[in-house]
Structure 1
Amino acid sequence: MPLNDQQIQTLGRDALQRAAAGDFAQAEEMFARIVEARPNMGQALHLLGQVRLKLGRFAEAREPLERAAQFLPREVAAQTNLAGCLIQLGLNEQALAALARAARLKPNDAGIAHNTGRALEALGRAEEAERAYDQALSIDNRLVPSLSARAGLLAARGEWAGALTDLETALVSHPADPRLRLRRGELLLRQGDWWRGLGDHEARLEIPGERHTPDLPNWQGEPMTGRLLLYPEQADIESEAALRDTLMLARGLNGFPAGIEPIVQCAGTLAGWLAEASVRRGDSLENFVAAAPLRSVPHLLNWSLDALPAPARLHRQATPSSSVGWFSVVEPPAGLAITRTPDDIPACRLVVADDTWPAHAAASLGIPTVILLPRTADWLWGPNLGTSPWYPSAELLRDDDREGLAARLAGC
């Protein structure tokens, strides 16, 4: 049924009230009716796109926002909202064009400059992105998104001091922001500064995500008596990350305060390996007093890289033969007799592996182990390559160091 001008005005007013109250679904239906009746009404198209953005329906928001930008060529918000939608859809070149139109209309806008940086960064144009963030911060020197984004770019090229300064500046105005605290913690930890970084790293537990949390009180280092569950926080306990965390961090269990009996929540894959007291995920927690994630143990027990507890105890014992265990995506050299079977690890004279659970199993047994790390390796390893403080028998190499690996293999 066609709508007259009075009906459109009434419907538009009601739709705005619905949107202001947070009822975006009803507002979207109303704006859609207006657009159907007046297909070339720029403001209605813009508002329809905006509520679809609020609903997270970015693909459906694109068409009305593109039309709104055409009908409202001198309205900055029409261009920036279109750009935001396009960025969400990964259409960053088109987003840059919309942002350029917005910048011509409003040249000194920090938000436009920041979003330009986002689009450029997504396109891999890091230097241009950094200049865009610099521009945003020259307009508003406390713009937290730009400070955080620039910190990421600086950290990626190893400029730790500059990255840390940006995050510290952002935290002045948002001191409780868990994401900023976590990023600061990771920067400090990657430099080996555990004293300052471990506390910040606990902020990860405040950020919603797919994380396993047992139905027990969270132990934060206070005196207690009874069984303490140490658990991998990954939702999938059989994931590679959970398996390697279990072997790497379930160590020094005799170093807990008196009265605490630590028990490790262990995946089925590791049931035949880990000799520490353990339970399976899904077992009854009736006799447990509290729980703590394994990644919080270094913080709770004040570990440092130069004074780590001994590796976890394993059921297996090393009985070296002539075989080489190979558990890396890097291909082994031709002619090398290798095994890729984890059960064969105790009989290996050498193990080469990525940062996966077989590497930790071999190193825990004292078998010479070469662990190949990416440039963005887990902060737990610390900033240095070579002999690892985690395992006396392990040597850390970059995963692209072919010459170093060849020399290590030749030496064995």
Structure 2
Amino acid sequence: MAAPAELQAALDLLRGLRERHGIDVVTTAQAARSAPAQAAALALRHLLPADLIWHIEGHEVLARLASGDVLVLGLDPSPRVNGRAVREGRLRRATIDEGSARAVFELAAALWSNPKFLPEIEPIGTLMPPPSDALAVPRGMEFVSAMARSDRPLPKVVDEVPTPGWLAPGLLGLAGPRRQAFERTVWNALRFLLLHELGHVCLGHLELGARKQRYRMIEELRIRDGAAPPKAGGLTDEARRALEIEADGFAAARLFGEAHERDASTGLQAGMLSATASALLGAALVPIIFHAMQVFSETPEPLSTHPPLWFRADAMMRAAMPGAGTGALLDAPLRHWAANDALQRPLAAAGHTHPLLGQWLGPVIDGGLDGPARRVLAEARFARDGLLRGRLRVQQQVVPSRGP
């Protein structure tokens, strides 16, 4: 536990950052208004060991890193579907927006309230008939689509975007093991989001290319402002993709490491997903939602600062396989993709709920991505190594198309 003076100094630093950069904090009362925010708040409080937590203020959790820097995990009351890692002085802040929590919650609810999605997990008798495949927007992505497509200014709060009419009856129909599976999917997706942002902090990404800057931010997605995420510290797009792959690896190692241990100790329960399959489904929702934001906004080119959806989902599939270990994605050899019905089935079932999801997830479900995945990794390793050597700290520099 921090001494009172030390804790007060950390709080003063945090409040100064909030004031200078317009960062709000979600209060307990605010989070109580929505189930997605409540779920995110719960995930926040269980992401770190209890003995590392200094203080909880609203829905920000303060801890101290081994370096002595202050770490803050938080939920921002923004409707954006976004996350960010921020550095200012000795403060490190990793946060997700409430819009991200809502997007995860509604997509998971849409999957599990569809009786055609993994019907072996019961009960399904109280669920509504599945929506028509003719819907232009998959059920569960109405909020994401509204945020990406609208020409209006961004709303100030999440609740200004109407809740889809199917959500309340859909949630009422979820019971027993199926309700538990929905809650675990949300929990795993939120943990993956938070662990990814924490990865940017713990892997030193906020220091790369910005050694003379007091303030530094890596932001995940910026669609509605007519620009890609800011070039954090002058990093090139190639370097940003490398850092995003590393952050995914950090999150996957922890999420699936815990799931593998749980499966080994408890075994597979009849009529339930394994802990690993549940973690994979939750983690896969994150790149699916970011990809949907890009598609619905009609962005003409793939988001250049992040690896493509197929690569991120494929990397998660490989990390979820038994015996995958906890090696970093960029530094470990590419693990051979092997068919595993228990892990593929949830993603395949999600792909069958709507043609768009089937199109996006098809390459991952089918496998055979070793060659393309190796190329993405090779480019990312080259960019990361160049960044560490100081060659890519200026945006104008060009990365060769292939390594040495």
Q: Is TM > 0.5 for Structure 1 vs Structure 2?
A: no
Quick check: which has more Rg, 1 or 2?
1
Comparing both chains, which one has the higher relative contact order based on Cα–Cα distances under 8 Å and sequence gaps of 6 or more? 2
TM-score computed with the length of structure 1 as normaliser? 0.22
Q: What TM-score do you get using the length of structure 2 for normalisation? A: 0.23
